């Protein structure tokens, strides 16, 4: 299975690039492709995020091609296990999912970030699910945000997030067939 990792700054054009690449791949593999799937990890917790989600939905609808959208803000591994041979899948995005993972359980009193081993377990489960997916004939586009151009943060939680995201990015790139970085709408292929 090909895995294509796409990262870049906020509003850099990475989602548009990923959607276009997934659609092109779907159209060229149409006889073999089963489904074109969009895995969304965003949760509309405020008006800005609600607008972003609506914009992404409108962008996909404007393509005049049918996407199957799966909402997976927390349990991404279960979603990945349900994918089948021939699926073309775009997951947008790792950074949103990791944020959700950090704070899952907040409403119950203790977010994952405050539970010993919780985040490590979520990453282990994710990596195992992606590893299993690599054994299937699924084309997997993974989108994430680049957050590493700024100096380290004083806030320990924010710095932990950046470190975990950086490690996750390195892992994705190490197993990816292709890796792209997009800034200001300019695409740079790294792998």
In this structure, are residues 87 and 139 in contact, taking their beta carbons and an 8 Å threshold? yes
How does pLDDT run across 31-84, given as a tens digit for each residue? 566 899 999 987 656 666 556 556 655 565 556 678 888 988 888 999 999 999
Q: Is 70 exceeded by the pLDDT of residue 23?
A: yes
Distance CA 7, CA 187 (A): 10
Confidence class of residue 1 from pLDDT cuts 50, 70 and 90?
A: confident
Nearest of 180, 190, 172 to residue 20 by alpha carbon: 180
- Please identify which residue in the block is written with the tokens 């704070």: 103
Q: Is 90 exceeded by the pLDDT of residue 121?
A: yes
Tell me what percent of the residues of the chain surpass a pLDDT of 90.
52
Residue ranges per structural domain of the chain:
3-189
Tokens of 126: 């994710």
Distance CA 33, CA 28 (A): 9
Mutual angle of helices 118-134 and 156-175, in 10-degree steps: 10
DSSP states along 99-152 = HHHHHTTGGGT--GGGSTTHHHHHHHHHHHHHHHHHTSS-EEEEEEE---SSPP
CB-count exposure of residue 116 (10 Å: 0-12, 13-18, 19+): exposed
User: Looking at domain 3-189, which CATH architecture does it have?
Assistant: 3-Layer(aba) Sandwich (3.40)
In this structure, are residues 89 and 107 in contact, taking their beta carbons and an 8 Å threshold? no
Greatest alpha-carbon span in the chain: 52
Q: Is 70 exceeded by the pLDDT of residue 9?
A: yes
HSE, CB side, 13 Å, CA atoms: give it for residue 18: 34
CB-count exposure of residue 130 (10 Å: 0-12, 13-18, 19+): buried
Write the CA distances from 15 to 106, 109, 171, integer angstroms. 28, 34, 20
pTM recorded for the entire structure: 0.85
In three-state secondary structure terms, 66 is coil
pLDDT at residue number 51: 63
Q: Tell me how many helices (H) and strands (E) the chain has.
A: 6, 7
Q: Is 80 exceeded by the pLDDT of residue 17?
A: yes
How does pLDDT run across 124-148, given as a tens digit for each residue? 999 999 999 989 989 999 999 987 7
pLDDT at residue number 77: 92
């Amino acid at each position: 299975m090909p895995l294509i990792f796409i990262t870049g700054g906020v509003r850099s054009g990475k989602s548009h690039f990923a959607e276009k690449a997934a659609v092109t791949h779907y159209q060229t593999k149409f006889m073999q492709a089963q489904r074109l799937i969009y895995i969304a990890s965003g949760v509309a917790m405020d008006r800005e995020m609600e607008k972003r989600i609506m914009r992404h939905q409108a962008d996909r609808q404007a393509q005049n091609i049918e996407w199957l959208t799966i909402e997976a803000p927390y349990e991404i591994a279960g979603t990945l296990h349900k994918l089948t041979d021939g699926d073309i899948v775009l997951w947008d995005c790792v950074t949103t999912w990791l944020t959700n993972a950090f704070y899952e359980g907040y409403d119950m009193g203790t977010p994952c970030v405050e539970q010993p081993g919780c985040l490590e377990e979520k990453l282990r489960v994710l990596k195992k699910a992606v590893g299993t997916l690599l054994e299937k004939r699924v084309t997997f586009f993974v989108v994430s945000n680049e957050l590493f151009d700024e100096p380290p943060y004083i806030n320990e939680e924010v710095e932990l997030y950046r470190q975990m995201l950086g490690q996750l990015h390195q892992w994705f790139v190490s197993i990816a067939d292709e890796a792209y970085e997009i800034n200001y709408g300019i695409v740079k292929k790294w792998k």
